[in-house]
Amino acid sequence: MFLITSGLLYGAVTLQYFTARDVANGVLVEWKTGEEGGTSRFEIERSADTPDNFIYIDYKTATGNNSYYSFQDNSVESGTDVSSSIYFYRLKCLDQNGNYTYTNHITVSHTVSGIRSTWGSIKAIFR
């Protein structure tokens, strides 16, 4: 798990924290804002193995100052083996005028268990 803390300013947004951690079915991304200063939404972006090729995966509508947000990324995959993969996440903070800033990226290691990997292979046979 990686954690960014203590009032980092991104444009008009102050993040109290921004974290990502490995959970049973994917990666849980969480953040809490201080000030949101006209922010309309947060886009969650992910890159696999290197912090170079971020893709949009979802968004959360901004709800106001001192808000908590979370997103569980169940789309992370490590293939059929039981290896770990490194994922990078960042937030794109957009205001009502379409202006945006990016947060620094955070890193998380996600491991697919042997049981989940085997079950996924079995399910794929019957599709």
Given this model, what pLDDT does residue 96 score? 87
| Positive or negative torsion for Cα 72, 74, 76, 78 | positive
**How many other CB atoms sit within 10 Å of the CB of residue 55?**
8
Given this model, what pLDDT does residue 127 score? 52
User: How far is Cα 5 from Cα 10, in angstroms, rounded to an integer?
Assistant: 13
Number of domains into which the chain is organized: 1
Given this model, what pLDDT does residue 51 score? 87
Model-level pTM?
Answer: 0.78
Average pLDDT across each block of 10 residues of the chain; the chain has 127 residues. List them in order: 50 87 89 91 92 94 95 73 73 91 91 54 52
Given this model, what pLDDT does residue 13 score? 86
Domain CATH number, residue 113: 2.60.40.10
Domain of 71? 2-125
